[in-house]
Each structure stands twice: as structure tokens, then as C-alpha cells.
Chain A
Amino acid sequence: MSEVAILNPTTSRGLNTNTTPVAPLLDADRKPLTKKEVSADHPTWCPGCGDFAVLALYFKLIERRKLHHEKITTVAGIGCSSRFPYFVQAHGAHYIHGRALPFASGVSLSRPDLQVCVFGGDGDAFSIGGNHFTHTARKNVRLTYVVMDNSVYGLTKNQTSPTSPIGFKSKTDIWGSKDRPINPIKQAISAGATFVARTTATNPNHVLAMMEAAMDHDGFSFIQCLSECVEFYPGAFDAATPRKGGVFNEISKEHDVTDEYAAYKLADTAWPGLFGVYYKTERPTKNANEQSIITDLQGKSAGLEPWQILKKNFDRMK
């Protein structure tokens, strides 16, 4: 009923008593990170897993883009591929199943200075996290989302995933899956993603090119990266791997990446489909939209301290 004893306010660091500050470093004095510096725990993936390639290429991206440790934030949900943040020597978060995107959105929207990269699998993205995929795409939150799609639940050892093809035999579909799989590219385009690309872990140069293009995109950039599960769905993507007798067909240079309908149509190309950027458009990001509201409202209370802004409201409630 009365004023409580309020702890003395200090900045957050004031409460971080077990850290010692050090002098800042000028960016110019810093060398690009080496693979050794940017790798952390040894990956827990099975030998031969497609995810190793994606991780290696993420390191390469960091090196090539001269990103520093502290500016990279790696976020993931739950699944084999979602162990990703442990393997990267940077601030990382391993969140709950299916919810990496809203977590990452909270980071992106509250900390516009950070590069936010989200990694996950097909179950995480399109099954338990399906709702978030749609809404993060339509809001165009500025972050990069790489879905390492192996078309099977690997961590729980071989159940049908939302991208498993019809006829796929798993422990939950011993007769072969009957459900129509999700087409991630069509899903992303119809949800309103502003950058949609497809690649495969067996083509490293292409993966890196897609990651770089995604990172340069101002908005929600989505990459579907086929990544084979050698344990539970071996050979899933042989049809897209030339050294296994498949074909790696890139999207024609003639394709207009801003043409939504053309992109949607391309996404229906017969298996193993096409690789490259399907769709890319410029639309104000959620981050920019929020910033414009802030700029607008802050303009009206320019020069006022936070307590004075609050006081104006309280004065109206007298």
C-alpha cells in the first residue's frame, strides 16, 4: 500500500560484479577471425552429416565478412542442427523447440546493432514452429534464417518430418508417409518473406553465396539448405548431388527475383528442384517500421528526460 524499498538503480553492469572491464579495441586494429578462433565445442553430429558443411561455411562467412565475435549472435531451437550455437565461438542462444524465431526477433528488434543468425531444422521450422515462421516472415524482421532440411526427425531417431516425401518410411510411418509434405519455398513466399533461397550442403560455394546474399538483405532472409541425415535418411538428396549421379540445377539468370508468382511457380519444379535465389524484394522491415514510430513519438518529446515524459502522463491523471 505504500512505497516499497526500491533497490538503488544502477546500470546493468553495476550488477555484474564478477566481471572486470577492459579497454575498448578499435575495429581497425582487429584482424578477421580465424576458423580456430570462431569454433567452440566439437560438433555432436554423426560423421557424414550435412550440417558440418553448413557450420564450416558459417565460419567462412564470418571470416570473409570480418565479423567480430561480439557482433554475431547465433540462435537456434531444438533438433540436431539446432545444436549449432554451441559450435560457434560467439554469443549464442539455444532456445526451446520451434521458438527460435520469436526469440531472435526479440534480439533483433531490441538490439539493432547485432547481426542475428538463426539455424534450425525442418521440424523446428515448419512443424512446431510453423506459426512463427509465417509471422516472422510477414513482419519482415531483420534476421537470417537457415533451415537445414534433412526431411526427417533425427534427434529423436527417425520419425516423419513435415518435409518428408510421400512414401517415406519412418518409425511413425512404417507403411510410408501419406501426408503431403510442405514446400518450404512456397511457404516462405506466401508468408511474405522478402528473401527466399534454396541451396544444398553438398555445394559449399553455393551455400556461401546464398549466405552472403542473405546477410546483405535488409529484412527476413530465408535459406532452405538441404542437409543429408546419413543415419536416418541416407541418400535423400542424391538426386541433387552430381557426384552421386544427380543434377544441381540453378535458377536461370533470366528469372526475375522480384516476381512473386514466377518464384512460386519455380518452386514447383520437379524433384530435386532448382537452387538459387527464388525471390527477393524490398519492403520496410519491422525494425525500420518500429524505428519510425519511435522517431515520430520521440520528436514530440524532444529534450525531455524519461521521468519528464512520464510526468506529463501523470499530470493528465490528476
Chain B
Amino acid sequence: MTGRDGKAIALHGGVIAALFALNFVLPEYHHGVLARVLVLAVFAMGYNLLFGYAGLLSLGHAMFFAAGLYGAGLPMYHFGWGVLAAFLSGLSAATILAFVIGMLALRTKGVAFMIVTMMFAQVGYLLVYYFGSWTRGDEGLVIQQHARAIEIGATTLDLTEPTTRYMTALFLFSVVLLVTFALVRSSFGRVLIAIRENEERTRMLGYDTFANKLVAMVASGAICGAAGAAYLILFGYVGSTFASIQYSILPLLWVLLGGASTTLGPLVGTVLMFYLIDGSGDLLKTYAPGWNISHLGIVGAALIILVLFFPKGILGTIRDRWARWLP
């Protein structure tokens, strides 16, 4: 293990330890916020694997998040499935969908790939309405509090209890962070980066770039699906909004803000964007009471500023300037 590896491992361990410690010190509001943000950061990490490392800009990742949400939510709501079975169902739905979409969409590149993924996501969004008698379309479905618990012997783990929910979100986040960390440092991760930098040359070196991109797509979809399933189980609601284009743009923005192709960038981006949106309401109310700017307006402004001035995001800039060892 090199000193570079040691620093990276220490940093990731430190982040997980810090998040664990925050459970005990955060005020109630921020504690609840961070549980939600950790799940959304998992979504962003899944997106980052494909966009940041493999260089494939998808505009349709809401479909994988939604596949996780509906894959878990529909059997819980209609058939009374338990939490673990529902989670696996959501994860499987997103993984299979990512494989199928990958097989088709990866035949395209660049702008065409963006459009194809966006179109598939739009199909997914409309399917939610098409099967409205099952999904209740835009209104969506609520999973009751009592159903969001795990029975372990005589003990019941209530996933709506704030500490349990936080720790569950942190567990998922930690697993995905460590898996991502291992993936991007493996030879597979290096092949993805090579594809991003020059796909033709990578192919010339003998790598099957399609297969590698497909694996990246499936892993990315699976992670996003896990986030969706966890979101449903921890927060109890699924609706078509989560399948809309907005939820394809948001992970892109979180990743761009935090730093694409950095393992911790998605967390940084998701946290900052949440508080930017949350705080902007008060700032706008105080300093620009007449401006009816929505939180999406803030998101849009942030995206423009990012693209213009910080194309590598926060951790990307830090890596360039001060910490070359950041994975």
C-alpha cells in the first residue's frame, strides 16, 4: 500500500466515521435532512460511476432511481411484501432495466447517448401513468409506517425511527462508497477512465469497451436502484415526479457540483445543493421578497455558474490543485 492509498483509505474511513458521529450531535432537523441526503448521495454515486468515470453522460437516470422506487413500492403496497424482499425487488428491477437499456443505448455515443437515455426515461415516466391503476400516477402511493419495519426474531427494527433511519441510510451509503472506491481503483475502474479519455485507443489496446461500458451501466443502474428502493422504504412515498426529467438532471448537478470522477464528490454535491436550496428560500424571502424564484431556479443558476467557473466541481478542483491523491 502506498502513502497515496493510505491517505485515500483514511479519508474514506474518516468520512464514514464522521457521518456516524454526526448521528449523535446533529440537531433534529439536520439529522433528518442528512438521512435523506445520504440516500440521494447514493443515487449520485451511481450516476457518477457512469458519468464521472466512464464519461457517459446520461439524461435518463431517473428511470433507474424510479425502477428502485417502484420495484420496491409496488409489491409492498399491493402484495404486502416485507422490507428486505422489497429492497431486493427494487434493486433487481433497476439492475435488469440497466442491462436492457445499456444493451440498446450503448450503441450510441455522445449527444445521441444523452438523447436516447432521456427518451427511455420519458418512456418510463409515461409508463407510470399508463399503469395508473397500479401506480396512481402523479399522486403516487404511500407505504404506511407500520409496514416499514424489519422483524428480527422478537425484535422490530422500525425504519421510521430517526436514529434507525439515519443508520440505515449511512449503512447503505458506506457500502456503496466502499464498493465505488474499490471499483474505481480496480483494473476495471482504470479501463473505464481509459474509455472516457480515449475509447478508440482503449479498444486498440485490446479491451472490449462495449462490455466494460455495459458493466458500468449495470453497476450504475443497480446503485441508483438501491437508492430508490431505500428512499421508498425509509421515507414511505413513491410518485411519478421521481421518474421525471428533473430527477435525471439533479444527480448530474450533484455530481458536477461535488466533482465528477471523485468518489466523495457526489456526497459533497448533494449536501451543498440541499442546503443551497433550503437556505435560498430564507435569503430570497429576506432580500428579494418580490422575486418568486423556485428552488429549481436556484438549481439552474448553480448549474450555469458551475459550468462557467468550476467545470471540475469542488473536489475535482481540490484534486487538481492540492490533493492529487484523491480518488
Do A and B interact with each other, yes or no? no
Residues of B within 8 A of A (CB): none
